[in-house]
Structure 1
Amino acid sequence: MKKSRLVVGATCAALVGALALTACSSDGGGGDDGSKKITFMFRGGPDEKKAYEAAIDKYTEATGVDVEMIVTDADQYATKLQAAVAGNNVPDVFYIEQASLQSYVASGVLLDITDQVEASDVDLDNLWEYGVDSYRFDGTLQGTPEGRLYGLPKDIGPFSFGYNKTMLEAAGIPLPDKDTPLTWEQFVEICKQLTTDTDGDGAVDQWGTGLNVQWNLQSMVWSNGADFIDADRTTVTVDTPEFADALQKFADLTTVDAVTPSASDAATLDTYQRWMAGEIGFFPVGPWDVSVYNDLDFDYDLIPWPTVGDGGTATWVGSLGIGVSATSKHPDEAVELVTYLSADAQAQQTLVDANIQVPNLIDVATDWAQAADAEPANRQEFLDIAQDYGRAMPAAFTYGAAWYDELWTNIQPVLDGKQTAADYLADVQPRMQALLDESIANAEQAFAGR
């Protein structure tokens, strides 16, 4: 699965140094006739750019405020925003990732928009609570309802689980229930039935699944009652039997169960490409995938993630936020643009029609999920994740993600069956803890003078 396709905000280390430089000024201005102009920097593909053009045209028509859009590819956004910060040219309005919010606040780059939002007609109760709280910070903890608002959600990204309906039907396998998650044993058994040589040349060319450890292990860990970090976000908790069991089962999909493409198979085509080609039975689906997946040559749908233990089905929810430069020359208009893009029903409909996100507005999302022509049919699964059981990524609300990234650095021997999960986790936990301790100390230092 391609990391660049995931709107997760897991790391922002490259930005931290740049953001510490200064609280930079925006060059937003206007014309000699008193007109106002603000800049909006975001990342996305052609579909997202086209949708924003339509939404912002309506905003300009209604307010008279001209908006210059600065759009980048997802992989270039962090670098270009870093350059804008370092060059004292912060856009008036820009995308913020969950994991970078505290650095922006500490360095004075982000405007506290709490008072403006509360004075507006935005109904925060009609926005997903997880999305709004992601951009709250109380000076110690991010993501709590008591925090001040430093942005509003551009979207939420419930990371769902999909299956190739056409493949299962062709194999005569009953379709999974859309409400009851498969047990791990049931999931593996179906994957074994799907893994086969379809053209008779002696080589497997269809697999049950093809998961990526960095983006899919979370579901297994959480459903097995384990976690990456404690509730206070001060202790790394990967060295438990439940965590080891989940990681070992993940590795076993390849080395024992043989239901995923081998390393050599993946070198030819990665699992994302094989899913797109109809060669994989089960694969994750994010809202950002829908516009592409709906045009595939097979039918697919969504189900709850399989459960490893007794923790219930679990997965993560990503989010991108939209914030305002603390030194924008037009802060009121910038905040108005943020509230418009995040919470205006017409603007949201423009973005939703482009099949690039789940609606931010709960009432709009409910109608969207229940539409007779919904693709995929079980869109409700996205909403169940958003409202009921989705969680933030482990490093989404910590000051930097180096502690979390360390888990993946030397994990390959486990995936290759050359090291047990338990041994690896016992070895990596102290290194992760040291990095988390460092990040906590850095946060304390960053906020000491505020």
Structure 2
Amino acid sequence: MRKSRLASGMVAALVLAGTAACSAGSSTDDDGKLTFMFRGGEDEKAAYQEAIDRFSADTGVEVEVIVTDADQYATKLQAAISGNNVPDVFYIEQASLQSYVTSGVLLDITDLVAESGVDLENIWEYGVDSYRYDGRLQGTPDGALYGLPKDVGPFALGYNKTMLEEEGIDLPDQDEPLTWDEWLDIMEQVTKDTNGDGKIDQWGTGLNVQWNLQALAWSNGADWTNADKTEVTVDTPEMAEALQYIADMTTVEEVTPSSEQQATLDTYQRWMEGELAFFPVGPWDVSTYNELDFEYDLIPYPAGATGEPATWIGSLGIGVSATTAMPEEATELVTYLSADATAQQTLVDAGIQVPNLKDMAAEWAAEEDVQPANRQEFLDIVEDYGRPMPAAVTYGAAWYDEMWTNIQPVLDGKQTAAEYLAEVQPRMQQLLDESNMQAEQAAAANETE
């Protein structure tokens, strides 16, 4: 995965746990100007500046933009929070929401959004609910609203259409998911030495276990926790089967580049070079992938024992500082960036996201002569079979990160998936227990302020 919607939020969520009351006494000068802090590449920066300039022209509210690179955002936002200089409006990661709420950093904008007249029914339910929190669980429909979605990021599966056609392989059905066996059969057919030098140079896929196990595990009936996020449930046969399937792709079936080959050129680059038949595609990839020398499209993820596809959806939110001197104007900026049709069109035209608005998204998906042709797959993930990442809706991510710390022996074929999961589950459980305790302590501390 090239652009994580989660990683910086994981860091911020843990750091904020130790600064629960830090921003409680801070204030923002009422100088008639809003500050908006966000992160992004050049395309995103330009699109947001265009949208914000239009907002200022329409409302008369001046907005000072503070923009950082993606890998610096969490650190710089935390510095602003610790220095009692919280921006009026800023990007929030799903994984940081609970920490921001219990630390008194985010404003409850439920009433202000209702008064704004924004039609929440026309915004993806997943996007809106991602920024709801009822004090115990995140994502509940009846939770208070602490932000609106900047975007939703469905993590789809792409395939190299040109390669499959050249190999004489029938293109996958865009509505009916392949079984794992059917998928493996296609990958075995395309994995070969294409130039006769005795070395494999074309493969089925090249998956990163940290970003791709979710799809296989969920479709096989496995999950990371129980429903109320109190019990780690990775030590099950269903999870072991999914993890072993990924490991065997390299060590047994050999339909992916080996670790040595990946060290020479990673699988993202090999996909870009046209060497892989299947690879994940997010909306943030489309503008880059559309410049590739081959044609690609989207399909549902292959389904495990449940017979149903699964994958994850990332998201970024936009929230308001609890200490802003301009809560109405700040919330107006949030609703404009998230739900105004003109602003959304500016961001969509930049090729950086799926439309937040359902009616706009339906028209976008139906456009002809575009790539990927099956844009509808992105919307199916958002509406139907996508889920939040396991740590996106918990207080901190240390418990989840532990899953990947010592997983390499499994991927190298030196340890079975079942053995590893039995070992890691107690460590993950301990960290989840600590995380939930920290959440309770932070909430109690904030209530006494």
CA distance in 1, matches of 2:229, 2:307: 20
The answer to whether the Cα contact below 8 Å between 1:225 and 1:311 also exists between their aligned partners in 2 is no
Cα distance in 2, alignment partners of residues 137 and 308 from structure 1: 32
Aligned to 1:388: 384
Residue 102 (structure 1) aligns with:
98
Q: Greater CA deviation, 14-23 or 195-204? A: 14-23
Question: Would you say 1:203 and 2:199 are equivalent positions?
Answer: yes
Cα deviations across residues 321-378 of structure 1 (Å, max 9, x unaligned)?
0001111121111100000000000100000001100100000000000011332100
Query: What code does the residue aligned with 2:260 have?
Result: S
Deviates more, 1:377-386 or 1:13-22: 13-22
Contact 1:152 1:321 in 2 (8 A): yes
Q: Which runs of 5+ in 1 are unaligned?
A: 31-35
User: Hey, what's the Cα distance between the residues in 2 that align with 1:7 and 1:368?
Assistant: 23
Residue 399 of structure 1 aligns with which residue? 395
Matched, 1:235 2:225: no
1:215 maps onto 2:211 in alignment: yes
**What amino acid is the match of 1:7?**
R
2:17 is aligned with 1:11: no
* Residue 364 (structure 1) aligned with residue 360 (structure 2): yes
Choose which of 129, 132, 135 in structure 2 pairs with 1:136. Answer: 132
3-state DSSP of counterpart to 2:149: strand
CA contact (8 A) 1:122 1:343 kept: yes
Q: Which runs of 4+ in 1 moved over 6 A?
A: none
CA distance, structure 1, for counterparts of residue 213 and residue 441 of structure 2? 33
Q: What letter corresponds to residue 374 of structure 1 in structure 2?
A: V
Name the counterpart of 1:33: none
Aligned-partner residue type, residue 377 of structure 1: A
Deviation at 1:18, TM superposition (A): 5.8
Residues 1:297 and 2:293 aligned together = yes
2:190 to 190, 194, 202: 194
Do the aligned residues in 2 keep the contact of 1:18 with 1:85 (CA within 8 Å)? no
Shift of 1:37: 1.0
In structure 2, how many angstroms separate the alpha carbons of the residues matched to 1:173 and 1:15?
50
1:201-280 to structure 2, matched below 5 A, reads 201-280=197-276
Mapped to 2, the partners of 1:342 and 1:186 lie a distance apart of 40
1:331 aligned residue? 327
Task: Give the match's secondary structure for 2:63.
Answer: strand
2:23 matched residue in structure 1: 23
Counterpart in the other structure of 1:111: 107
2:17 and 2:103 in contact (8 A); partners too: no
1:90 aligns with 2:82: no
1:26–1:375 Cα change, 3 Å: farther
Give 1:185's aligned residue.
181
Residues 437 and 214 of structure 1: is their aligned pair in 2 closer, same or farther, counting only changes over 3 Å? same
| Post-superposition offset of 1:390 | 0.5
1:160: Cα distance to partner? 0.3
Q: Deviations over 1:158-207 (max 9, x none)?
A: 11000011111111111111101111011111111111111111111111
Task: Give the 5 Å matches for 1:45-194.
Answer: 45-194=41-190
Question: Alignment partner of 1:145: what SS?
Answer: coil
Amino acid at match of 1:79: T
Retained in 2: the 8 A contact 1:26–1:91? no
CA distance in 1, matches of 2:336, 2:410: 47
> Following the alignment from structure 1 to structure 2, what is the Cα–Cα distance between the partners of residues 21 and 273?
45
Structure 2: distance between partners of 1:19 and 1:126: 36
Q: Give the aligned residue type for 1:406.
A: E
In structure 2, relative to structure 1, the CA distance for the partners of 1:357 and 1:28 (3 Å cut) is farther
Q: Distance in 2 between matches of 1:78 and 1:185?
A: 41
Query: 1:11 corresponds to which letter in structure 2?
Result: M
Residues 11 and 401 in structure 1, CA contact (< 8 A), matched pair in contact too: yes
In structure 1, what is the equivalent of residue 430 of structure 2? 434
The amino acid across from 2:275 in the alignment is: E
What is the CA–CA distance in structure 1 between the aligned matches of 2:291 and 2:156, rounded to whole Å? 18
**Separation of aligned partners in 2, 1:203 and 1:182:** 28
Alignment partners' CA distance in 1, 2:81 and 2:18: 7
Report the Cα distance in structure 2 between the residues aligned to 1:425 and 1:16, rounded to whole angstroms.
Answer: 30
Structure 1 match to 2:443:
447
Stretch of structure 1 that moved more, 424-433 or 83-92: 83-92
CA distance in 2, matches of 1:240, 1:232: 18
CA contact (8 A) 1:182 1:307 kept: yes
* Separation in 2, partners of 1:161, 1:405: 23
Q: 1:6 Cα deviation (Å)?
A: 2.3
Which digits, 9 at most, give the CA deviation of each residue in 1:86-118, with x for residues without a partner? Answer: 111111100001111111011111011001001
1:368–1:374 contact (8 Å) kept in structure 2: no
Q: Secondary structure at the match of 2:150?
A: strand
- Corresponding letter in the other structure for 1:238: V
Alpha-carbon spacing, 1:111–1:26, altered in 2? closer, same or farther (3 Å): same
**3-state DSSP of counterpart to 1:110:** coil
Tell me if the contact between 1:15 and 1:100 (Cα under 8 Å) persists in the aligned partners: no
Check conservation: 2:23, 2:82, Cα contact below 8 A.
no
- State the 1:381 CA deviation: 0.2
* Conservation of the 8 A alpha-carbon contact between 1:369 and 1:379: yes
Query: How far apart, CA to CA, are the structure 2 residues paired with 1:434 and 1:211?
Result: 29
Name the counterpart of 2:404: 408
Aligned to 2:285, the other structure's residue is in SS state helix
Task: Tell me if the contact between 1:28 and 1:92 (Cα under 8 Å) persists in the aligned partners.
Answer: no
* Unmatched segments (≥5 aa) in structure 2: none
1:396 is paired with a residue whose SS is: helix
Deviation at 1:28, TM superposition (A): 5.2
